Chains A and B, each alone.
Chain A
Amino acid sequence: MKIVTAASAGTVESSDIIVRIEPREEKGLEIHLTSSVMQQFGKKIEKVIRETLDGLGVENARVEAVDKGALDCTVRARTAAAAYRAAERTDYEWRTKE
């Protein structure tokens, strides 16, 4: 999935995370995260963002995220929504729950 524009999803409300994704000239994912629970969960949240983008085939992007204590499923939802918006695509792939 190619990121073609800057887009975001989420809010700065408690239990949410706002994820902003924009194109990156260089290869790879550059993730900047600030979180109200940075000390305890910063690495975990960044891992969820990275895994979500890997799963969508996003190879090059700059990500800025501000977390307010979001659950992993919220991090995944906001990251995926921002990625589709930034890729200007709506051909969502929904996996069947196991």
Chain B
Amino acid sequence: MKLRRSMMFVPGNNPGMIKDAGIYGADCIMFDLEDSVAITEKDTARFLVYNALTTIDYGGIELVVRINDLSSGLGIQDLEAIVRAQPDVIRLPKTENAQDVIDCEKEIERIEREAGIPVGKTRMMAAIESAEGVLNAHSIAKSSKRLIGIALGAEDYVTDLKTTRSDGTELFFARGMILNAARSAGIDALDTVYSDVNNEEGFIAEATLIKKMGFSGKSVINPRQIEPLHKVFMPSEKDLAKARAIMDAIKEANARGSGVASLKGKMIDRPVVLRAQYLLELAGMADYGKEG
């Protein structure tokens, strides 16, 4: 399982941030060609991100590029450059319906063929940023095998709802829809940014909420948010000890040739094993119990 607890936004026209993006420990780096880039600098940002992707070694960190939407005409130009630079994932903004993903995938596939890149290598994620998109979350999540996840873009969404960001009440429905749509499709659910970088307490409260809900992670706009976010996702020692005990019991049952494992007299069901595995993966111990 690929951990996507933190997806760090890096403005596509900022060479300093692009240069340093790999040092902060984010699970994914997301170079942005969309909202953080002025309309007059779309070409220069594209050159910069393309050259960074084809030159800088980010040491295996998952690399994502947020392109402009296809209807702007800029999105196609972004794809022509970025698909050839082969990041792991292209993030499509302002996804309203499944057709938006299908249209983008068609262009990616054409460019992959033209460029001699194996078809399907470029993965995708879709950001949902409107009421229409939220209501279509399920069909969006299932629209392409390339999708690794869907994400909530809250700023545009709350504007569409005619409200503002506050305590999270305004996002409850969208988060629930996006999370369930993603899980139903077997892909990741990524939460929106928390813009007030000086309010660490508020950030941790929001991260705790979305982790409880079941989200895979969250976009961050400042490296300072990465460590507290990862701490929120880190299982407690008590939970880890329990997870290890579950995996030990499974291993022991397998060694005995028994299909049924139990711990302290209680049978271990499959969901219990899956939760234990997930906790160990979050703690960087994905291989626990598998060796030997």
Contacts and interface: CB of A to CB of B under 8 A. Distances in A.
Given A16-B15, A74-B51, A77-B50, A92 B44 contact: no
Given A80-B47, A81-B44, A85-B43, A96 B117 contact: yes
Contacts of B50: 77, 94
B53 A74 contact: no
* Tier of interface size on chain A: 20 to 34
B15 A70 contact: yes
Contacts of A96: 84, 86, 115-117
A74 to B, nearest CB: 4
Interface residues of B, number: 25
Interface in B31-63: 43-44, 47-48, 50-56
Interface centre among A13, A71, A78, A84 (most CB of B within 10 A): A71
Contacts, number: 72
Given A77-B48, A84-B43, A13 B16 contact: yes
Contact of A73 (B14, B56, B77): B56
B81 interface: yes
A27 interface: no
Given A13-B15, A70-B15, A92-B80, A97 B43 contact: no
Interface in B85-130: 85-86, 115-117
B165 interface: no
B19 interface: yes
A20 B56 CA distance: 25
A9 interface: yes
B53 to A, nearest CB: 7
Given A10-B44, A81-B44, A15 B19 contact: yes
Nearest to B86: A97
Contacts of B53: 97
Contacts of A97: 53-54, 84-86
B84 A94 contact: yes
B56 A94 contact: no
Contacts of B16: 13-16
A81 B44 CA distance: 6
A30 interface: no
A9 B44 CA distance: 7
Contacts of A80: 47, 51
Interface in B1-42: 14-16, 18-19
B120 to A, nearest CB: 16
A81 to B, nearest CB: 4
Nearest to B87: A97
A71 B44 contact: no
Contacts of A84: 43
Interface of A: 9-10, 13-16, 70-74, 76-78, 80-81, 84-85, 90, 92, 94-97
Given A77-B51, A97-B86, 8 more contacts: A9-B44, A13-B16, A71-B15, A71-B55, A84-B43, A94-B80, A96-B115, A96-B117
Q: Which 5 A-B pairs have CB atoms at the shortest separation, nearest pair first?
A: A15-B16, A73-B55, A77-B51, A77-B47, A73-B51
11 contacts: A9-B44, A13-B14, A71-B15, A74-B15, A76-B51, A81-B48, A90-B43, A92-B80, A95-B84, A96-B117, A97-B53
